[in-house]
A and B are shown apart, each in its own frame.
Chain A
Amino acid sequence: MNELEAEIRYLKEELDRKKEEISDLRKLLGREIDREFAPPVEELSDKELADYLRDTIPLINGFVETKPDIRAITSHRKTLGRPVVFLKRALLKTTFTQLNASLDLQNRFNRDQSRFNRQVAALFRTLHVRDGRRAERLKALEEKVAGYEEDLALLRNKLEGLNAAARLRGGSADEPPR
């Protein structure tokens, strides 16, 4: 084994040992590997669209109401804790009173928006169900049409056979042409 080969083996063993300690792929690669993808809704097939609606509707049904709460302000300090909390709460109460007015407005808007989202989701679901029923009816009709097309193809073939037979008979010496 030459010097280079020995060096490669040594470095590889070292790195392999370090690698074993890392479980996260991102750390192995030194970069992020996952990305967000938005599906092209207008290109989805019926099946893909059904899956998309199933996954998406619960997301838009969500609603978060935000409002600051001064009770969240606490302290672990034994002696200084209580006055500090008191001062902080007093200071923030003044700020929160003004902030709350704006947040009430925002929350009201969020509630309306959420209600609207739920209605849109319900509408989507209804349209999808109706579309499914129409697709079923269309499928049944297509099957009927396919059946008629088959009948037509067989009749056409039979007619061709009869015509050929008639031509053959018409051309024979025993029978005059009709």
Chain B
Amino acid sequence: MKMKNGSLMTGAGLAEAVGEILRRKGIQAAVNELMKREVALGLRKPTLAVYDHAFHFIGGAQKYGLTMISALKDLFDITILANRDIGYGKFREWYDLDLSSIPVKVIPLPYFDERKAVNLDPALVSRDIENPFHRISRESGRYDVFVNNSMNEMVFPLACVSVLICHFPERRPRSYFYADQYTRVVCNSRYTAEWIGKKWGFAPHRLLYPPVDMEAGGIDVPKKKIILSATRFEPEGFKRQREMIGAFLKLCRQRPEAVGGWKFILAGGSQPGNPYLAGLKDMIAGEAGGCVELKVNVTAAELKSLYREAALFWHMCGVKREDPGETEHFGMTTVEAMQNAVVPLVYDGGGLPEIVDHGVNGFLVGSTAELLERTLALIGDPAKTEALGRAAWKKSRLFSRSNFETTARSIFGEVLNLLVSPETSIPG
């Protein structure tokens, strides 16, 4: 019996071939060769591990990784690798995903635990200390395919085939940089791809837009006079709620006849004792009429209801920022709004221009002044607003969960081919 490349598949020949790999490429490559053959011969289902150092937090990147797992569970025997304990209930509560059939393996990282760090921030790791993520690297060598869904390029992949899901290249190559050691790099937007090129010096292999599923009840629901913003209240103010509230208050004061009856509602999550949020509350405290409302840590049902009722959506994350990391890398909430026929008026930067086609299904604006101009024009033209809302809904289909799952399966179909290909002997 022979493999495609002609290598012997008899017991005696195998030992010799593996021995040769052991001498030339080390023990991990030899183990990988055996694992590859097990899969190629159909002796078992391929194994896949998905790692994220932040699975214990709710977040868009984590939803991305877990939805991917849900799409791939028929193709692989999957294990979730986490650093902190996390129950399946959270996955269901946060992302509406039933992953109870997938085992979760918790690998503690003593470096962070000893410091009682809530965030396992790779930026804290320098060359002066031993890489705490090497524990994950070692674990990666137990699976046929290793997927790193973290914003963490400090995990060296030992599996035969490895995939780095890059949500944004936060750091430039420095100590323990291994992003270029992965067999495949998948990114979440063209904006991220551009910055992978600029910061890391290579191009990702595939683009997989995040899954968005926020449809709350069709597009024929009558809209109310609501402008919605849905994004976290970051303590650093990255999401620019202060600028949006300032602009809307000015609009109410200077053009009350134009915006009579309109409300600006800002929904989003916040940690307790957030000084930025306190500042926003102070900003709107003295305003008569309550034309601005803050809705903090709303439930998924409340958020859906807001999307259903809102007519316009504002998102200015990135305006007046120089650091590319402080701009939206994709913009999931903009898609959520569009899925509910809410017309997006969003900042013309980051990943947002990939979602909104200017003048076709929303508007891309460069400043709060432009935001006000476009908003006033739409408020004065309900027919145009409705038409744009329908176009926005249509465009949002591109980013649906089913599209995500189809593309994910295509990408991992290629990964499977690589796994059984005789040419693939990674690492080595």
For B24, the chain A residues whose CB sits under 8 A away are 30
B159 to chain A minimum Cβ distance, whole angstroms, is 12
Give the size category of B's interface with A: 35 or more
Contact A19 B250 (CB under 8 A): no
B372 within 8 A of A: yes
Contact B27 A15 (CB under 8 A): yes
Specify which of A5, A151, A153 lies most central, judged by the most chain B CB atoms within 10 Å of its CB.
A153
For A5, the chain B residues whose CB sits under 8 A away are 41, 43
Contact B255 A8 (CB under 8 A): no
A133 within 8 A of B: no
Give the secondary structure class of A's interface.
helix
For B255, the chain A residues whose CB sits under 8 A away are 154, 157-158
Give the secondary structure class of B's interface.
helix
Count the A residues whose beta carbon is within 8 Å of the partner chain — how many?
Answer: 47
A65 CA to B26 CA in the complex, in Å?
Answer: 42
B307 within 8 A of A: no
For A55, the chain B residues whose CB sits under 8 A away are 126
A89 CA to B425 CA in the complex, in Å?
Answer: 57
Contact B324 A4 (CB under 8 A): no
Given contacts A4-B11, A35-B177, contact A146 B320 (CB under 8 A): yes
Contact A46 B322 (CB under 8 A): yes
A33 within 8 A of B: yes
A5 CA to B41 CA in the complex, in Å?
Answer: 9
Contact A153 B372 (CB under 8 A): yes
A29 CA to B31 CA in the complex, in Å?
Answer: 11
Chain B minimum-CB-distance residue to A8: B34
Additional pairs, 6, CB under 8 Å, beyond known A15-B27, A33-B156, A46-B322 = A5-B41, A6-B11, A8-B38, A15-B30, A28-B27, A46-B323
Binding site for B on A (CB under 8 A): 3-8, 11-12, 15-16, 18-19, 22, 25, 27-31, 33-35, 37, 39-40, 43-48, 55, 139, 142, 146-147, 149-158, 161
